[in-house]
Structure 1
Amino acid sequence: MPESSQAQTAPHRERTSPQRSESLWGNPTYRQWFTADTASTIGAAMRGFAISLIAFSLTQSVVLAGWLATFSQIATHVSDVFGGTVVDRHNRKGLIIANAVFGTLLWGTVFVLIALHAIAFPIFAIVTVAASAVNGLLANATNAMLRTIIPTREYPKAQSLNQGRDSVVSIAGSPLGGVLYAVAPWLPFAVASLMYAISGVSAAQLRVDEHVRDMVTTDRKSKRPDTASQADCTSDAAVAPDADATAESAHTSFFEDFIEGWRWTLRRHTLLAICVIAALVNFGLNGVFAAVNLQLVSTHVDSVRLGFVNTVMGVGMLIGAVIAARVCERVHMGTGLVVLSVTSLLTLLPMLFSNDYLVILASSLIVGLPIPTINSLLMGFVFAKVPSEMQGRVESASGMLSMIPTLFCSALAGSLLPRIGFGATIGLFLAVLAVNVVIALLMPSIRSLPAADHWDDASL
């Protein structure tokens, strides 16, 4: 945010300012936040790995397994559309705890039913979709709260730490999930339930005094429509209302806040261009790996080897996270996006000609290398340019725009594999990545995105 916006203080803003310690780890609130976020990430990795295996074991159908994954993603992203507004209107700490409680109960129920041999596919599908919907509604609270914990200048570093953490979880989580599943199919869900419980306990210890609902209540009657419209179009960060305006503030409705978030997002042309690139990359990458996962499941590859694919990709992302921590402040975002687009296509191209396990592992390793740097830059840029009171809504709106095509990757891969085979299915998703390369090269708004030290001069 611009310094003029950060410098203003008002009763409606969070009372706890981001702590400016020399090290992120010197900030005790950040450590508690990181613990809560890490535990929920591990929980998601454990249950995510086992869902396809359980679905296939119950139905013996890659089509049904693929459609279950698709319905889960649809539930996540449909609820996420409204989740950003929920996050901006309510206490984020409480939402993090609520998400952890639901995760503990729902996946604990699955664990018990599988252990008692009382699980049926319809019940498993209902719980999976319900858990995905709750997660989509509440999960944004974690990232939205980070704005109140650390200063903007430390966010790229924090994001590179998150990328490294996620890579470690991928490295250890998938083979661990495979081993647990081999021991007993209910074990991954038991561990997931435990991790969500730990996340809730850690979140309960956070000491951040939030007044999030007041942050999105302004006196709309005191604003002329033309003035509000002009402010939306010319400023990348909302200026906090002064104390007098706050004193006269009137609570706005959920619908008004929801529309405001989408209007703010859709008027940012650079953000929309980023969403287009992200949507195509997400569709291509997720489609390829959905096809890989279902192909290995259908050919009865053991769960340990299946999990090792995610492990190898996690190794690539961990190496990439180490690189990101060193270069993310100097890399031009435009150059990075073009590199990511080209690399994603070239590194997955060998799968078009071979479904050999070693070829899949090699492509999985290399494709993960540039992802942490790009994620750190893009998320840091958006984090810096979006006002605190809009974080949840803009994240959910841009996330929805970036993920709409991806919702159908698993269903599409599961439906195509039995009909046209592995190579042709991979070819379809690679064609999307090829289109993305052309778009990234031809869009000036993408190529001109600057490095972090020039973000103040860039428009979102």
Structure 2
Amino acid sequence: MTTTHASQPSQSPPDRQAPSRPSTPLWRNRDYNILWISRSLTEVGFNASTMAFPLLVLAVTRSPGTAGLVQGVNAAAQLLAGLPGGTLVDRWNRKTVMLTCEAARTVALLWLVWTIWTGAVAVWHMAVVAAVLGVCSALFDPAEEASLPYVVPPDQLAVAVSMNHARNSIGHLVGTALSGALFGVKRVLPFAADALTHVVSFFMLLFVRLPKPERQAEGAPPANFRREALEGLKWVWGHRLIRVTAMCAVAVNFLFQVLYLVIIVVAQQSGVPSAQIGVMAAMFGGGGLLGALAAPRLYARCGPRVSVVLTFWAMAVLAPVTLATGNGIVMGLVLAGIAFLAPTANTAVSTYQLLTTPDRLRGRLSGVIGLIAGISTALGPLTGGLLMECVGARWAILLSTLGIAVLAVTVTLSPTLRGFGKLAATPPAEDGTGRSGAAADTHDPH
């Protein structure tokens, strides 16, 4: 398979490389710190409102099914907008995309706050706001990720990616903790807090310095949205190492979702008190946060390939331990151990993909990866639930462990991943057609 970009180089100008920056410490990087702090605030607000949405629906309708429907609207909107969102990000000014998304989120949340405050809130209000938030996430996330190589130098990209994982974990822990407390005081407070974070983020993003997108080359055919979207899919599928690493990341996230649900159910069936189950969930989040903070050093020490392989084997070894204990703290330690290594694997994969992909395709890369990751995240709990229905929770863990072990062996022996460390260590240079050298080395000939 050949990419559209490689086979028709005359249709688009050479991609720009990210400007060379001195390797100053990341904490002194003005633009990255603005992005990191603003997104950290919105992550707290997002998680606070996400936890409060089903509580609000239940308070208004007393229908668990309706609560699930509203949550489903958000997920569906994000998935449906994922691929076209990445394409639009590659067309438009990425800073403008992020600012527009923050403005739209603010307006939608303030409208919801007003309807709650006046007592007029209805299910359709919540569904509309959930859809707006989902679409904005599908646009904002690829725009921010595609901008990252312009904000930090290549040698610091892995650290920046891992710190972004830490930011997400912090937002989850703080946001979910605040949500219940704020909702208990006043139903409107979690959503008002979320709106406030987007207002602050909007004004912070005004000061981020990002390059404007290049105009299309003179004489090039007019842009075709469908062709551009397909070019993003072809880029991911047509480059073996990007395709394989993407599948590894999706598999890790999918199996996380399966195991998390099944282990929680096993704990409940083993008589673990509800308070300890809550501690288990917190330990899982804490493990992910500590793993994100440790990811730069682990990535530097282990290398990209070992980081991915080690994550699969850790899951395969740790998951069965939960069957040998009825102690919630031990189960929580297992969950924390599983969560600890995932950020290092995700850092290895994301860093390689960003460095290898031409700038003009980075939005579409993020959109494609986000789409398949979102599908796997949604299917994980469903798969775990079906396994438990069919064979019971304990057999579900054993079968999941068997599947993880098979994947671990496959990843360990994969001839494609044997070259992962070498290619990921040095950012590839693009040739005159805009295609990267590393991508050419891993490009499928057929």
TM above 0.5: yes
Distance 1:337 1:99 in 2: 33
Deviations 1:69-112 (A, max 9, x none): 44432321221111111000001111001111122222333334
Distance, in Å, in 2 between the alignment partners of 1:69 and 1:369 is 28
Residue in structure 1 matched with residue 150 of structure 2 by the alignment: 148
Change (3 A) 1:13 1:132: same
Query: Hey, what's the Cα distance between the residues in 2 that align with 1:165 and 1:305?
Result: 26
Query: In 1, Cα distance between the equivalents of 2:61 and 2:109?
Result: 20
Greater displacement, 422-431 / 311-320: 422-431
2:103 matched to which residue of 1? 101
SS in 2 for 1:318: helix
The 2-side partners of 1:427 and 1:295 are apart by 12
Matches within 5 A, 1:146-225: 146-212=148-214, 214=215, 217=216
CA 1:295–1:59 in structure 2 vs 1: closer, same or farther (change >3 Å)?
farther
| TM-score normalised by length of structure 1 | 0.77
Counterparts of 2:267 and 2:130 in 1: how far apart (Å)?
22
Structure 2 segments unaligned to the other structure (5+ residues): 1-11, 429-436
TM-superposed CA distance for 1:365, in Å, is 2.0
Q: Equivalent residue for 1:437?
A: 408
CA gap of 1:208–1:273, structure 2 versus 1, over 3 A, is closer
Q: 1:60 to 1:354 in 2, by over 3 A?
A: farther
Alignment of 1:390-429 (within 5 A): 390-410=361-381
Equivalent in the alignment of 1:228:
none
Q: 2:74 aligns with which of 67, 72, 75?
A: 72
Q: Cα distance 1:22–1:294, how it changes in 2: closer, same or farther (>3 A)? A: same
Of the structure 1 ranges 356-365 and 322-331, higher mean CA displacement relative to structure 2 is found in 356-365
Alignment of 1:9-408 (within 5 A): 17=19, 19-55=21-57, 65-66=67-68, 68-212=70-214, 214=215, 217=216, 246-289=217-260, 311-350=282-321, 358=329, 361-408=332-379
Q: Distance in 1 between matches of 2:260 and 2:37?
A: 29
> Match of 2:245, as an amino acid?
I
Change (3 A) 1:111 1:405: same
Corresponding residue for residue 232 of structure 1: none
- Equivalent AA in structure 1 for residue 425 of structure 2: D
Offset at 1:444? 2.5
Residue range with higher mean Cα deviation, 304-313 or 162-171: 304-313
CA distance in 2, matches of 1:94, 1:279: 29
Question: What is the TM-score normalised by the length of structure 2?
Answer: 0.79
RMSD of aligned Cα (Å): 3.8
Aligned to 2:425: 453
SS at match of 2:151: coil
Residues 49 and 174 of structure 1 are in contact (CA less than 8 Å); yes or no, is this contact kept in structure 2? yes
Q: CA deviation at 1:140?
A: 1.1
For structure 1, which segment, 423-432 or 320-329, has the greater mean C-alpha deviation from structure 2 after superposition?
423-432
> Which is further off, 427-436 or 390-399?
427-436
Moved more, 106-115 or 391-400: 106-115
2:50 is paired with a residue whose SS is helix
Q: Following the alignment from structure 1 to structure 2, what is the Cα–Cα distance between the partners of residues 86 and 71?
A: 22
Q: Distance in 2 between matches of 1:105 and 1:405?
A: 31
Tell me: CA distance 1:209–1:335, structure 2 relative to 1, closer, same or farther (3 Å). closer
Q: 1:77 corresponds to which letter in structure 2?
A: L
1:155-206 alpha-carbon deviations (Å, 9 max, x no partner): 1121122223233323333222232233334322221111111111111222
Given residue 342 of structure 2, which amino acid in structure 1 is its aligned partner? I
> In the alignment, which residue of structure 1 is the partner of 2:432?
none
Size of the alignment, in residue pairs?
Answer: 417
Amino acid at match of 1:26: R
**CA–CA distance in structure 2, aligned partners of residues 119 and 420 of structure 1:** 42
